[in-house]
Amino acid sequence: MNSWFVRDENDARYYAEHIENRLPESVFDAHVHLNLPEHVEKVSAQTVAGDWALQCGMSMSYEEAVAYHEALFPDVAMKMLALPLPLAEADMPANNAYLAGLVGENKVTALMGIRPEWDAESVEKQLLEGEFAGFKPYPYMAASEKGAEVSIFDFLPHHHLKLADRYGKTVLLHLPRKGRLADDDNIREIREIIQKYPGLRLVIAHFGRSFNVVYLREGLRKLGTDKSALYFDTAAVMNPAVHQEGLQQLRTDQILFGTDMPILLWHGKRKWTETEYFNLCREDFPWNRHPYPEDEKNYTFFLYEQVRAMLDALEQSGASRQEIAGVFFKNACRVYQTAGMKTPGNPCRV
C-alpha cells in the first residue's frame, strides 16, 4: 500500500457519521485499475507528468486493492471489477494475463484492455480464454492528450465492437473530446454503437466524464430516449449536483458505483466552476500547490466524499433500500457478471 495512505481519527469519525449503516452489506466497486509495477515500467516520465491522475497512482495489485477496500469500508463486503491501466506505453498483454489469472481464481470480474490495431482473431481468443466480461478501451490508445479530439472508433474499432456484440459482452467507454458527454460527435457515435450493436452492454465511465453537472444535463438532453439503452458508472464523480441530475434523468438500475482506485485514495475535496473542476488535496503530489493549507487537516478521503454525495442524492430522490443496493451492488452484477462468461465465478455471490 502507499506509504501516505492513513485512515485517521477524522476519517473514522466521518465514516461513522455519514456512511456507516447507510451502505448495503455488499458493495461492488465497478471501476478498479489493477496492474503490477512491471506492467508500467516503460511508461515515460513525460506521460506521467502530463496527467495529474497518473501522478497519484500507477499500479495496484489485487492484494493492495483488497487492503484499501477493507481499510476504507471495514463493515462492507467489497467485490470489484478489475480493469487494466489503459496506457499506450503499458504492457497491455501482460496486464490482461494478470487479470485473467485473477478471474480464473474467482477473485474478480475483469475487462480486457484492447489496442485498436489488434486484429479480431487474436482479441477473440484472449477475450474467451480469459473469460473477460468485456472490453476496456481508452482514448490514450489513439492520442496521448487527455480529452483529445479523436473519434471513439479510433480507439474502439468496429471489429472489436462486433465481438462484444456477438458474445453479449460489456464495453466500459471513457469518452474523448473536450465536450465530454455533451459533445455532438460523441452523442452521434454513442447512438451508432447502440444501434449497430444491440447485443452488447455499453457503460459510460465517469457519468460521461461529467465531473460538472452541465455536461451530464446537456448530454442526456441530447441523447433523448436513447439514454435508456445506456449504463453509467460514477467513478471519480463527487459533485453532488451530478448525482442529483443523474437520478432525475436516469433509472436507478442504469447507475453503477465505482471508485477509480488507485487514483483517488488521497484526502481532499473538489471545487467547481460551471465547466471546470479543481482538486484540493492534503498529500504532496507534484500537481498539488496546497492553496488552503489551513483546511487540509479537516479533509477526509476523496472516496468518502463521493460515497456520501451518492447516498445523500439517492435518499433525497426517494430511492428505496433495494434501489440503493442496486446502485452499489446488484446493477454491476447484472451488467458485468452475466456478460456472456462461460462460468459465473464468485464475485457476485453473497
Name 272's Cβ contacts closer than 8 Å, sequence gap at least 6.
211, 212, 239, 278
Q: How confident is the model at residue 339 (pLDDT cuts 50, 70, 90)?
A: low
Task: State the pLDDT at residue 344.
Answer: 45
Mean pLDDT score of the chain: 95
Which whole number is the average pLDDT over 187-192? Answer: 98
Question: What amino acid occupies position 195?
Answer: Q
301-319 burial, b at 16+ Cβ within 10 Å, e below that, comes to bbbbbbbbbbbebbeeeeb
345 within a domain of the structure (yes/no): no
Higher pLDDT: 248 or 340? It is 248
Higher pLDDT: 76 or 341? It is 76
Q: How many beta carbons lie within 10 A of that of residue 224, not counting itself?
A: 10
Which whole number is the average pLDDT over 91-118? Answer: 97
Structural domain range at position 306: 9-337
Which whole number is the average pLDDT over 153-173? Answer: 98
Which whole number is the average pLDDT over 115-124? Answer: 98
Strand partners, 32: 82, 261
Task: State the pLDDT at residue 341.
Answer: 46
Q: How confident is the model at residue 348 (pLDDT cuts 50, 70, 90)?
A: low
78 within a domain of the structure (yes/no): yes
- Taking the C-alpha atoms of residue 240 and residue 247, their distance in angstroms, rounded to an integer, is 11
For the cut 50, the answer to whether the pLDDT of residue 340 exceeds it is no
Q: Which of 19-33, 143-157, 174-188, 214-228 has the lowest mean pLDDT?
A: 143-157
Q: What percent of the chain has pLDDT over 90?
A: 93
- Model pLDDT for residues 251-268, shown as the tens digit of each residue: 999 999 999 999 999 999
Q: How confident is the model at residue 250 (pLDDT cuts 50, 70, 90)?
A: very high
1 within a domain of the structure (yes/no): no
29 within a domain of the structure (yes/no): yes
68 within a domain of the structure (yes/no): yes
- Model pLDDT for residues 40-61, shown as the tens digit of each residue: 999 999 999 999 999 999 999 9
347 within a domain of the structure (yes/no): no
The CATH number of the domain holding residue 45 is 3.20.20.140
The count of structural domains within the chain is 1
- Model pLDDT for residues 284-323, shown as the tens digit of each residue: 999 999 999 999 999 999 999 999 999 999 999 999 999 9
Name 163's Cβ contacts closer than 8 Å, sequence gap at least 6.
120, 123, 124, 127, 169
4 within a domain of the structure (yes/no): no
User: How far lies 137's CA from each of 23, 47, 307, in Å?
Assistant: 30, 18, 26
Nearest to 69 by CA among 292, 326, 307: 307
Task: State the pLDDT at residue 350.
Answer: 39
48 within a domain of the structure (yes/no): yes
Q: What is the pTM of this model?
A: 0.96
